[in-house]
C-alpha cells in the first residue's frame, strides 16, 4: 500500500476549529497533495526533477469537484502531456459516499425523511434532486456493489470463517420492519481476510441462515474447516447442515456473557477467573480437568452456571484443537463485532432504510471498501503452521483407519 508524506499549513489546521469550512479546506489540501504524489509516482519524477527514469511531463492541472460529508471539495487534478494520468482516489472514495447519499435521497423522494435529512442531501448533491437523479446514480453504483457481493469465490479456499448478523430497520409496505443482515468474513489459504458477502433475511431463523450458507456455497465457497459464531440455534443447525464435518467454535465472549447472566452477582468476579483459565488452557484435556475442579467447587453456589458451562464446554473450547498461534483471533467474533461497529456508524445516520435495496447498497459499498483494505493490507494470519498441522492430522487419521482394519 502506497504511503505519502502530507504537509498541513497552520492556517488550515487552525481553520479546522474556527470555521464551518475548516474540515473541507483541510481535506482539499491533503487530497491535493496525495494527487500530486500519485503523479510523481506515475511519472517517476518530481516537478522540475531531472532523471533518466522520467516517464513523461506534467501539463498543468484541472479542477475536480468531490462531494463529501464535510462539504464540497475542489481538487486540482494533475494533467500529463500524454494525457494518461489515472487515480482510483475518486472512485474508491465515492462508492462509499454515494451509497450513503443515495439512501438519504431515497428517503426524501419517498416522503419519509426529516427536514435535517433534506438539508444534508441538498448540501451533498446540489440544490435539488428527483427520482431520476437517484435512478441515474444507482446505475453507476449498483452494478459495482452487486458484482462484488456476488463474485465467485473459487479462486481461494477459506479454512476459517466468521459469521454474524445485525438487525436493521427497513420500511416495507408502509411499515417499519426489523430484518437481519447476515455477514460472513473468511481467512483464505494465504492468510488474508476477506468479506465473503452480505444478505438480508426476514429474521435470524434457521431458514434464513440456510439460505445464506447455500448462497455462499453457490458462489463456490470451499475448504471451510472452522467456523466462529454466537450460539443462535438456527445459525448452528444451518451451519452443520451446509458444512458437514467443519468445527464450530462458540464465541467465548458471547458465552461469557451468557454465563454471567446466569450467575449470582456476588460470586461472579471470583468465578470469572476460573472460566478464563479454562478458555486459555493449553489443550482440551487440561481444560476438562479445570472444568471438573471448577464444577466441584461451584456447583452448590452457582448450579445454573455450572450446568450451562458443562453443556457448552465442547463448543466453547473447540479452538484448543488448533495450533496455539491461531487461538487468540479465532476464539471470538471480536473481529466481526468491530466490522459491525463500522456498519452501525452509517446505519445510525439512516435509522430507517427506505427499502431493502438501499440497505444492501449502503452496507455492501462499505464492506467492499473494507474488503479492499483487508486484501491489500497486512496478512492476517501466517498459514504455514496450519497447513502443516492439517497434514499431520490427515496422516494420523489415515494411520488410525489402517489400525482399525487390522
| Position 103 pLDDT exceeds 70 | no
pLDDT in tens, 151-205: 999 999 999 999 999 999 999 988 999 999 999 999 999 999 999 999 999 888 9
Please give the Cα distance from 320 to 288 (Å, whole number). Answer: 11
Please give the Cα distance from 91 to 102 (Å, whole number). Answer: 16
- DSSP secondary structure, 305-324, as one string: HHHHHHHHHHHHTGGGGS-G
Q: Where is pLDDT greater, at 86 or 227?
A: 227
pLDDT in tens, 16-74: 445 445 556 766 776 777 677 777 877 777 877 778 877 787 777 778 776 565 566 77
Q: Report the range of poorest mean pLDDT among 5-9, 199-203, 266-270.
A: 5-9
pLDDT of residue 15: 52
% residues pLDDT > 70 (the chain): 73
Query: From edge to edge, which strands make up the β-sheet containing 175-187?
Result: 193-201, 175-187, 160-172, 226-229, 247-250
Q: Average of pLDDT values for 215-237?
A: 94
C-beta neighbour count of 319 within 10 angstroms: 23
Quickly state the pLDDT bin for 93 (edges 50, 70, 90): low
Most confident of 135-144, 374-383, 388-397: 374-383
Quickly state the pLDDT bin for 6 (edges 50, 70, 90): very low
> Mean of the per-residue pLDDT values for the chain?
81
Amino acid at each position: 500500500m502506497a504511503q505519502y508524506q502530507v504537509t498541513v499549513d497552520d492556517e488550515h489546521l487552525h481553520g479546522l476549529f474556527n470555521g464551518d469550512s475548516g474540515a473541507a479546506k483541510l481535506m482539499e489540501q491533503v487530497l491535493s497533495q496525495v494527487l500530486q504524489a500519485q503523479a510523481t509516482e506515475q511519472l517517476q519524477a518530481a516537478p522540475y526533477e531531472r532523471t533518466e527514469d522520467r516517464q513523461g511531463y506534467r501539463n498543468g492541472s484541472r479542477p475536480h469537484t468531490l462531494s463529501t460529508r464535510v462539504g464540497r471539495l475542489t481538487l486540482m487534478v494533475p494533467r500529463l502531456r500524454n494525457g494518461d494520468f489515472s487515480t482510483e482516489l475518486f472512485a474508491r472514495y465515492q462508492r462509499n459516499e454515494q451509497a450513503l447519499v443515495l439512501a438519504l435521497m431515497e428517503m426524501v423522494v419517498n416522503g419519509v425523511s426529516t427536514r435535517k435529512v433534506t438539508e444534508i442531501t441538498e448540501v451533498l448533491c446540489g440544490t435539488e434532486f428527483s427520482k431520476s437523479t437517484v435512478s441515474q446514480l444507482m446505475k453507476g453504483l449498483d452494478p459495482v456493489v452487486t458484482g462484488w457481493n456476488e463474485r465467485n469465490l473459487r479462486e481461494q479456499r477459506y479454512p476459517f470463517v466468521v459469521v454474524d448478523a445485525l438487525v436493521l430497520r427497513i420500511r416495507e409496505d408502509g411499515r417499519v420492519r426489523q430484518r437481519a443482515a447476515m455477514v460472513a468474513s473468511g481467512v483464505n489459504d494465504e492468510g488474508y481476510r476477506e468479506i465473503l458477502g452480505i444478505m438480508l433475511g426476514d429474521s435470524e431463523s434457521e431458514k434464513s441462515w440456510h439460505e445464506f450458507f447455500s448462497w455462499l456455497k453457490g458462489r463456490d465457497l470451499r475448504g471451510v474447516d472452522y467456523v466462529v459464531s454466537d450460539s443462535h440455534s438456527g445459525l448452528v443447525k444451518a451451519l452443520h447442515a451446509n458444512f458437514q464435518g467443519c468445527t464450530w467454535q462458540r464465541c467465548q465472549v458471547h458465552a461469557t456473557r451468557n454465563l454471567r447472566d446466569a450467575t449470582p452477582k456476588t460470586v461472579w468476579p471470583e468465578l470469572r477467573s476460573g472460566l478464563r483459565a479454562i478458555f486459555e488452557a493449553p489443550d482440551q484435556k487440561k481444560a476438562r480437568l479445570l472444568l471438573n475442579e471448577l464444577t466441584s467447587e461451584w456447583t452448590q453456589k452457582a448450579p445454573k452456571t455450572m450446568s450451562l458451562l458443562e453443556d457448552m464446554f465442547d463448543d466453547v473450547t473447540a479452538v484448543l484443537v488448533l495450533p496455539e498461534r491461531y487461538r487468540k483471533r479465532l476464539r471470538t467474533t471480536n473481529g466481526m463485532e468491530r466490522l459491525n461497529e463500522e456498519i452501525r456508524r452509517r446505519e445510525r445516520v439512516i435509522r430507517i432504510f427506505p427499502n431493502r435495496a438501499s440497505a444492501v447498497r449502503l452496507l455492501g459499498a462499505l464492506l467492499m471498501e473494507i474488503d479492499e483494505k483487508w486484501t491489500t493490507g497486512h496478512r492476517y494470519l501466517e498459514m504455514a503452521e496450519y497447513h502443516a498441522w492439517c497434514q499431520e492430522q490427515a496422516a494420523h487419521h489415515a494411520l488410525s483407519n489402517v489400525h482399525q482394519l487390522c
